[in-house]
Amino acid sequence: VKVIQILSGGMDSATLLYWHLRQGHDVRCISFDYGQRHRRELASAASLCDGVRVPWHMIEVHGLRSLLRGSSLTDASVDTPHGHYAAENMKQTVVPSRNAIMLSMAFGVAVAHDANAVSIGVHAGDHAIYPDCRKPFIQALEEALNLGTWRDGDKRIEIFTPFLYEDKGYICRRGTELGVPWELTWTCYEGGRHPCGKCGACQERAEAFAAAGVKDPLV
Protein backbone atom coordinates (compact mmCIF):
# COMPACT_ATOMS: atom_id res chain seq x y z
CA VAL A 1 0.00 0.00 0.00
CA LYS A 2 1.38 3.36 -1.02
CA VAL A 3 0.41 6.24 1.25
CA ILE A 4 0.87 10.00 1.28
CA GLN A 5 0.79 11.00 4.94
CA ILE A 6 0.21 14.44 6.39
CA LEU A 7 2.79 14.90 9.13
CA SER A 8 2.59 17.88 11.45
CA GLY A 9 5.44 16.75 13.70
CA GLY A 10 3.19 16.27 16.72
CA MET A 11 2.59 13.05 18.60
CA ASP A 12 -0.47 11.91 16.64
CA SER A 13 1.10 12.12 13.22
CA ALA A 14 4.42 10.76 14.54
CA THR A 15 2.56 7.70 15.82
CA LEU A 16 0.73 7.44 12.52
CA LEU A 17 4.05 7.40 10.68
CA TYR A 18 5.37 4.57 12.84
CA TRP A 19 2.04 2.75 12.48
CA HIS A 20 2.35 2.87 8.67
CA LEU A 21 5.89 1.53 8.82
CA ARG A 22 4.78 -1.31 11.10
CA GLN A 23 2.06 -2.17 8.57
CA GLY A 24 4.72 -2.31 5.89
CA HIS A 25 3.27 0.62 3.95
CA ASP A 26 5.29 2.58 1.44
CA VAL A 27 4.91 6.03 2.99
CA ARG A 28 5.86 9.52 1.91
CA CYS A 29 5.16 12.47 4.22
CA ILE A 30 4.15 16.02 3.55
CA SER A 31 4.03 18.92 5.98
CA PHE A 32 2.56 22.35 5.51
CA ASP A 33 4.08 25.68 6.31
CA TYR A 34 0.96 27.84 6.56
CA GLY A 35 2.64 30.48 8.66
CA GLN A 36 1.71 28.74 11.90
CA ARG A 37 3.07 30.35 15.05
CA HIS A 38 4.44 26.95 16.06
CA ARG A 39 6.28 26.40 12.80
CA ARG A 40 8.98 24.83 14.90
CA GLU A 41 6.93 21.65 14.42
CA LEU A 42 8.22 21.51 10.83
CA ALA A 43 11.75 20.80 12.07
CA SER A 44 10.27 17.97 14.15
CA ALA A 45 8.52 16.57 11.10
CA ALA A 46 11.78 16.66 9.14
CA SER A 47 13.73 14.91 11.93
CA LEU A 48 11.07 12.24 12.37
CA CYS A 49 11.22 11.35 8.66
CA ASP A 50 14.98 11.53 8.63
CA GLY A 51 15.14 9.04 11.50
CA VAL A 52 13.21 6.41 9.56
CA ARG A 53 14.41 7.36 6.07
CA VAL A 54 11.00 8.30 4.81
CA PRO A 55 10.81 10.94 2.06
CA TRP A 56 9.60 14.26 3.44
CA HIS A 57 8.28 17.25 1.55
CA MET A 58 7.26 20.64 2.82
CA ILE A 59 4.55 22.54 1.05
CA GLU A 60 4.63 26.28 1.60
CA VAL A 61 1.30 28.03 1.70
CA HIS A 62 2.58 31.23 3.29
CA GLY A 63 0.16 33.42 1.44
CA LEU A 64 -2.64 31.91 3.47
CA ARG A 65 -1.35 33.26 6.74
CA SER A 66 -2.63 36.80 6.39
CA LEU A 67 -5.90 35.61 4.90
CA LEU A 68 -6.66 32.96 7.52
CA ARG A 69 -7.08 35.63 10.17
CA GLY A 70 -8.73 35.21 13.53
CA SER A 71 -7.02 31.96 14.45
CA SER A 72 -4.39 32.12 17.17
CA LEU A 73 -2.28 29.69 15.16
CA THR A 74 -1.91 32.02 12.20
CA ASP A 75 -2.84 35.52 13.42
CA ALA A 76 -0.22 37.20 15.60
CA SER A 77 -2.86 39.56 17.03
CA VAL A 78 -4.75 36.64 18.61
CA ASP A 79 -3.17 35.23 21.78
CA THR A 80 -2.76 31.48 22.17
CA PRO A 81 -5.53 30.45 24.58
CA HIS A 82 -4.45 28.74 27.76
CA GLY A 83 -6.49 26.09 29.48
CA HIS A 84 -8.06 22.78 28.65
CA TYR A 85 -7.89 21.53 25.07
CA ALA A 86 -11.60 20.76 24.79
CA ALA A 87 -12.72 24.10 26.29
CA GLU A 88 -14.69 26.71 24.37
CA ASN A 89 -11.78 29.19 24.15
CA MET A 90 -9.77 26.63 22.17
CA LYS A 91 -12.00 27.47 19.20
CA GLN A 92 -9.59 30.37 18.68
CA THR A 93 -7.09 27.78 17.50
CA VAL A 94 -9.27 26.57 14.63
CA VAL A 95 -7.61 27.40 11.32
CA PRO A 96 -10.40 27.80 8.75
CA SER A 97 -10.67 24.73 6.50
CA ARG A 98 -7.18 23.55 7.42
CA ASN A 99 -7.82 19.85 6.93
CA ALA A 100 -9.77 20.42 3.71
CA ILE A 101 -6.83 22.42 2.35
CA MET A 102 -4.18 19.93 3.46
CA LEU A 103 -6.08 16.77 2.51
CA SER A 104 -6.93 18.16 -0.94
CA MET A 105 -3.28 18.92 -1.63
CA ALA A 106 -2.18 15.52 -0.29
CA PHE A 107 -4.83 13.89 -2.45
CA GLY A 108 -3.42 15.57 -5.55
CA VAL A 109 0.04 14.29 -4.62
CA ALA A 110 -1.46 10.82 -4.14
CA VAL A 111 -3.00 10.91 -7.61
CA ALA A 112 0.28 12.03 -9.15
CA HIS A 113 2.25 9.31 -7.30
CA ASP A 114 -0.32 6.61 -8.00
CA ALA A 115 -0.78 6.09 -4.25
CA ASN A 116 -3.67 4.16 -2.70
CA ALA A 117 -4.33 6.47 0.19
CA VAL A 118 -3.69 9.68 2.02
CA SER A 119 -3.61 9.60 5.79
CA ILE A 120 -4.02 11.98 8.68
CA GLY A 121 -3.67 11.49 12.44
CA VAL A 122 -7.00 12.92 13.61
CA HIS A 123 -8.37 11.40 16.82
CA ALA A 124 -11.45 11.47 19.04
CA GLY A 125 -10.09 14.25 21.27
CA ASP A 126 -10.09 16.62 18.27
CA HIS A 127 -13.80 16.17 17.54
CA ALA A 128 -15.09 18.66 20.10
CA ILE A 129 -13.33 21.72 18.68
CA TYR A 130 -12.31 20.81 15.15
CA PRO A 131 -15.24 19.88 12.86
CA ASP A 132 -12.78 18.97 10.10
CA CYS A 133 -11.48 16.11 12.25
CA ARG A 134 -14.85 14.34 12.33
CA LYS A 135 -15.93 11.28 10.39
CA PRO A 136 -18.75 12.88 8.31
CA PHE A 137 -16.34 15.51 7.01
CA ILE A 138 -13.57 13.03 6.21
CA GLN A 139 -16.04 10.71 4.46
CA ALA A 140 -17.64 13.48 2.41
CA LEU A 141 -14.25 14.86 1.40
CA GLU A 142 -13.00 11.43 0.36
CA GLU A 143 -16.09 11.06 -1.80
CA ALA A 144 -15.73 14.53 -3.31
CA LEU A 145 -12.02 14.18 -4.07
CA ASN A 146 -12.53 10.81 -5.76
CA LEU A 147 -15.41 12.24 -7.81
CA GLY A 148 -13.15 15.04 -8.97
CA THR A 149 -10.36 12.78 -10.23
CA TRP A 150 -9.83 10.62 -13.31
CA ARG A 151 -9.32 7.10 -12.08
CA ASP A 152 -8.51 3.73 -13.59
CA GLY A 153 -11.72 1.74 -13.43
CA ASP A 154 -12.99 1.70 -9.88
CA LYS A 155 -9.69 2.56 -8.24
CA ARG A 156 -10.30 4.88 -5.31
CA ILE A 157 -7.89 6.77 -3.14
CA GLU A 158 -8.86 6.37 0.49
CA ILE A 159 -8.37 8.74 3.38
CA PHE A 160 -6.90 6.66 6.23
CA THR A 161 -7.69 7.82 9.76
CA PRO A 162 -6.75 4.84 11.92
CA PHE A 163 -6.98 6.83 15.18
CA LEU A 164 -10.33 8.51 14.47
CA TYR A 165 -12.08 6.86 17.43
CA GLU A 166 -9.10 6.58 19.75
CA ASP A 167 -8.13 9.08 22.42
CA LYS A 168 -4.73 10.64 22.85
CA GLY A 169 -3.85 8.38 25.78
CA TYR A 170 -4.21 5.45 23.38
CA ILE A 171 -1.98 7.22 20.85
CA CYS A 172 0.70 7.74 23.50
CA ARG A 173 0.57 4.06 24.53
CA ARG A 174 0.57 2.85 20.93
CA GLY A 175 3.34 5.26 19.91
CA THR A 176 5.49 4.16 22.84
CA GLU A 177 4.96 0.54 21.81
CA LEU A 178 5.94 1.40 18.23
CA GLY A 179 9.09 3.17 19.40
CA VAL A 180 8.16 6.76 18.48
CA PRO A 181 11.01 9.08 19.56
CA TRP A 182 8.84 11.49 21.59
CA GLU A 183 11.79 13.84 22.10
CA LEU A 184 11.62 14.67 18.38
CA THR A 185 7.93 15.57 18.39
CA TRP A 186 6.53 19.06 18.93
CA THR A 187 3.09 19.83 20.34
CA CYS A 188 3.04 23.33 21.89
CA TYR A 189 1.03 25.97 20.03
CA GLU A 190 3.31 28.76 21.25
CA GLY A 191 6.36 27.57 19.36
CA GLY A 192 8.96 28.90 21.80
CA ARG A 193 12.23 27.18 22.62
CA HIS A 194 10.57 24.95 25.18
CA PRO A 195 6.94 23.80 25.49
CA CYS A 196 4.94 26.47 27.39
CA GLY A 197 3.04 23.91 29.46
CA LYS A 198 -0.01 26.19 29.54
CA CYS A 199 -1.65 26.11 26.12
CA GLY A 200 -4.38 23.58 25.34
CA ALA A 201 -2.04 21.50 23.21
CA CYS A 202 0.56 21.25 26.01
CA GLN A 203 -2.15 20.31 28.51
CA GLU A 204 -3.59 17.68 26.21
CA ARG A 205 -0.11 16.21 25.68
CA ALA A 206 0.49 16.11 29.44
CA GLU A 207 -2.84 14.32 29.97
CA ALA A 208 -2.01 11.79 27.26
CA PHE A 209 1.37 10.94 28.78
CA ALA A 210 -0.21 10.70 32.24
CA ALA A 211 -2.98 8.40 30.94
CA ALA A 212 -0.41 6.19 29.25
CA GLY A 213 1.87 6.18 32.29
CA VAL A 214 4.80 7.36 30.18
CA LYS A 215 7.32 10.09 30.96
CA ASP A 216 7.45 12.93 28.42
CA PRO A 217 11.11 13.57 27.53
CA LEU A 218 10.29 17.20 26.61
CA VAL A 219 9.07 18.09 30.09
Residues that bind Zn ion (CB under 5 A): 188, 190, 196, 199, 202
- Indicate the DSSP class of residue 95: P
Q: d(Cα 134, Cα 128) in Å, to the nearest integer?
A: 9
Q: Give the SS3 label for residue 167.
A: coil
| Residue 66: CB minimum distance to Zn ion, A | 24
Q: d(Cα 144, Cα 139) in Å, to the nearest integer?
A: 9
Q: Which is nearer to Zn ion, 7 or 199 (CB)?
A: 199
Q: Which is nearer to Zn ion, 78 or 164 (CB)?
A: 78
Q: Which is nearer to Zn ion, 179 or 192 (CB)?
A: 192
CB 5 within 8 A of CB 16: yes
Q: d(Cα 45, Cα 181) in Å, to the nearest integer?
A: 12
| Residue 130: CB minimum distance to Zn ion, A | 17
Residue 150, classified by CB atoms within 10 Å of its CB into exposed (0-12), middle (13-18) or buried (19+), is exposed
Q: Which is nearer to Zn ion, 164 or 196 (CB)?
A: 196
| Residue 85: CB minimum distance to Zn ion, A | 11
| Residue 201: CB minimum distance to Zn ion, A | 6
